[in-house]
Structure 1
């Protein structure tokens, strides 16, 4: 007969594996989307973008990856919270959840704005003023605000990971470094934004490879 704890352990390992797979998918998809977007719009004027269908296709491909990255990120958040269980710290859990959802919401809003701009490129419906405004708004939303929320998310996850010893200590310490970079230079150094999905990718691989710890036993209730 199977021991009672073995089923729980197996279920928790499946949950850890789900979190790892979701984080890996998010990291790969968002790195690809951000890299393609940076390559497509780097130093390009509206006239150059209108004359280059390949860059337009690259932007559309990147935008199509964003929703799937968001789905994977939501799954990652949910499974990580389930893994914390009884050892969950309410303060850091609230910051973790709130910053993650804010990051995702602003990322989606930026993607919607860019999608609208790209759809207006053919013909004479998009002038330089609208393009400048839309691009500036998207850059501020994603590069400044979303990346600050990503930094807060990284700080909270790193702190919880360090307290619970869920992954090797170098992973949360590297998270602190990534959060510092995102807070200070992500708004000006665009390629630094790739550090966030890359760190989630590293964290997810560490979760997948680190053996699961058992949940702490609940204290006996008074009769």
Structure 2
């Protein structure tokens, strides 16, 4: 951190930033659960008539409403992660980490927006939508969310795990958990329902670790005083 000059105050990472990973994990997990409850069979098996059921429709709409807030907290989570790594981070891996996080957020937003458009425009409540619009919209949204977003999440997890291993800023069990999470997101999540929950689970564990590390660092700083 740069030394403070006269009349200057060094910027510090807000303590609340450490909570971002926990909040993001809970919001994303809730959205995934609601989406799976609304579309348990996946996009390929869902017929237009299925969404005349108000319960399933409301579950999906609730999931989509949570996505923007999950994305906002994820960006704070990325900032908290980089602050935890510190200035010793590898520039190449740090760029991959930041880029994959931004692409994940953009893809998540795009998929949610596409799904919302299908439900609100092509599928009024209580009516069956136009088949052409339904087929295109549901496959487009589902592919963005389950294929592209999950794979960008895998890149984010794997780059963070490598950084944590090289710099020693993550404990070995958390690094191994990241490897398992990345492999699951890359090769399993798009075909096995509910397996995408490994990403919010990993984010929750990492967020708690960052919170605990920040608490210990503040305790050490306050100790001599």
User: TM-score range, shorter-chain basis?
Assistant: 0.7 to 0.9
SS in 1 for 2:133: helix
SS in 2 for 1:72: helix
- Residue of structure 1 equivalent to 2:223: none
SS in 2 for 1:87: coil
1:49-70 CA distance string (max 9 Å, x none): 12x1121111111111111111
1-structure distance, mates of 2:141, 2:168: 37
Q: How many residues were matched structurally?
A: 203
User: Shift in Å at residue 166 of structure 1?
Assistant: 2.5
1:18-68 CA distance string (max 9 Å, x none): 343000000000000011011101234210212x11211111111111111
- Residue of structure 2 equivalent to 1:220: none
SS in 2 for 1:190: coil
Q: What pairs up with 1:210-221 in 2 under 5 angstroms?
A: 210=213, 211-212=216-217
Q: Which of 183, 187, 192 pairs up with 2:195?
A: 192
| Contact 1:166-1:212 within 8 A present in 2 as well | no
Q: Is 1:20 matched with 2:44? A: no
SS in 1 for 2:194: helix
SS in 1 for 2:129: coil
| Contact 2:48-2:128 within 8 A present in 1 as well | no
2-structure distance, mates of 1:21, 1:78: 11
Cα RMSD after superposing both structures: 2.2
The TM-score, its normalising length taken from structure 1, stands at: 0.83
Q: After TM superposition, what 4+ stretches of structure 1 lie above 4 angstroms from structure 2?
A: none
The TM-score, its normalising length taken from structure 2, stands at: 0.83
- Residue of structure 1 equivalent to 2:100: 99
Q: Is 1:47 matched with 2:49? A: yes
Q: What pairs up with 1:113-192 in 2 under 5 angstroms?
A: 113-120=114-121, 121-122=123-124, 126-192=129-195
2-structure distance, mates of 1:190, 1:110: 17
User: Shift in Å at residue 199 of structure 1?
Assistant: 0.6
